[in-house]
Amino acid sequence: MSAAHWRSGSRSTNYPIVNDRPGPTRILHENAPKLAYGIDSVGGMNRFDSDTLDFAHSAERRIIHVDMDAFYAAVEQRDAVELRGRPVIVGGAPHRRGVVAAASYEAREFGVHSAMPTAAAVRLCPGAIRIAPRFAHYATVSQQIRSIFGRYTPIVEPLSLDEAFLDVSASQRLWGDAINIAQRIKNDIVRELGLVASVGIATNKFVAKIASDIDKPDGFVEVEMDKITEFLNPLPVTRIWGIGKVAAKRLADLGIITVHDLKRIPNERLIAAFGASGHHWLQLARGIDSREVVADHAVKSLSHEVTFAEDLDNDDELRATLTSLVENAAARLRAAELRASTVQLKIRHYDFTTRSRSRSFAAPTRSTAKFLSTAVGLLTTYRQQYRGAVRLVGVGLSGCGGAPTQSDLFTESVALDTVTDSINQRFGDRTLRRAAGLNNKS
């Protein structure tokens, strides 16, 4: 985006000590200047206040999107002082077709980004420190962040472990305007957890999410309703949800590069070329998004999978891998204070044929032993029917809910899981593992 459309305020480097460790150097303070769109100073913020448009939502609606900066990597850097200021890659091993789950901003300077193969990331940044993901630990930290959200509004819609929408429209009567609430949330997160979040404030979810991403890291952007058009127009069309590389290429062939370009195309032409998606994209390009923030957006499933460096045809090694996957998924489930009623097995063969099998319980559980015995049973039955080398194996836990059963509370296996989770969260996910999973090197 051109600098003519926005400016960034300076940030304080006067940061507090968090848990005897220095906090991030870029911290949002109550009176620090923030980034916003417009020219008139109002309440310490620069915001737009003209060019009123006819939108399908109220100007009084205030949505905050909070997005943690490089979340997994930031947690690792917070927890280990020797990692601070160094390039950190959280992801699978490069020799096992591992994928980057998160990269610190030091690693991103070398072109490393999430979802890229770990091997490629290591080539770009040979000096990076690779750390195996600790998903159960990240889930615990995520719960701590959500408890902070809950102080300011009950209307919180988590999208993942590291981001959420908050509707603070009614909360403004108690806490002041959305700007003040967002400042408080950022300050609480950094002071209590030693982590940094970027926030976007707008009258709808679509614009708020873009706003939180436009000035990362440690971003703070508010877009008033009457300046949504000016905010969106210069952005590339790939900023619109649902427009990926393939759609962007087709749009480029039509001369559509920016959001402004898209808005100049008649609705009928977009529908003819892209179906209902074309109409949806046009609505978003116009800044129209009437979706509500859905409170208590429940997690329906958790899954883990691994792609082997070399296709695998050994049942013992498959079971070892499956054991590790079940342990990781079950630990995340318990960290989120959930139980699951269905176990799903996913197998992809050397020829990319993919099949899945599932089995459900009479009542939800959080027992690793129960999940594992079910998953191994599914694998055994599957391998009796289908042989051949396996490229990928995955396990999913679904039908998630939060209410424990009496038997669940007092079983020996769940007590063991609780102790195991505690040790692994402190010392790393691989500290305590079942013997059946020791052959797994992913």
Catalytic center residues: 163
C-alpha distance from residue 433 to each of 329, 369, 416 (Å): 13, 12, 11
Alpha helices in 346-431 (DSSP H): 368-385, 406-410, 412-427
- Cis geometry, peptide bond prior to residue 16 (ω within 30 degrees of 0): no
CA distance 234 to 226: 16
Helices 71-79 and 135-149, axial angle in degrees (round to 10): 100
CB distance 340 to 364 below 8 Å: yes
Q: Which two tokens stand for residue 287?
A: 């800044």
CB distance 214 to 182 below 8 Å: no
Q: Say how many Å lie between the first and final Cα of the chain, rounded.
A: 41
Diameter over CA atoms, the chain: 71
Q: Which residue has the tokens 């859905």?
A: 294
Q: Residue 419 contacts by C-beta under 8 Å, 6 or more apart in sequence?
A: none
* Closest C-alpha to 140, from 401, 335, 418: 335
CB distance 363 to 411 below 8 Å: no
CB distance 221 to 200 below 8 Å: yes
CB distance 366 to 417 below 8 Å: yes
CA distance 324 to 333: 14
CB distance 301 to 389 below 8 Å: no
Using the Cα atoms of residue 254, residue 259, residue 264 and residue 269 in order, give the sign of their dihedral. positive
Quick one: how far is CA 128 from the chain centroid? 22
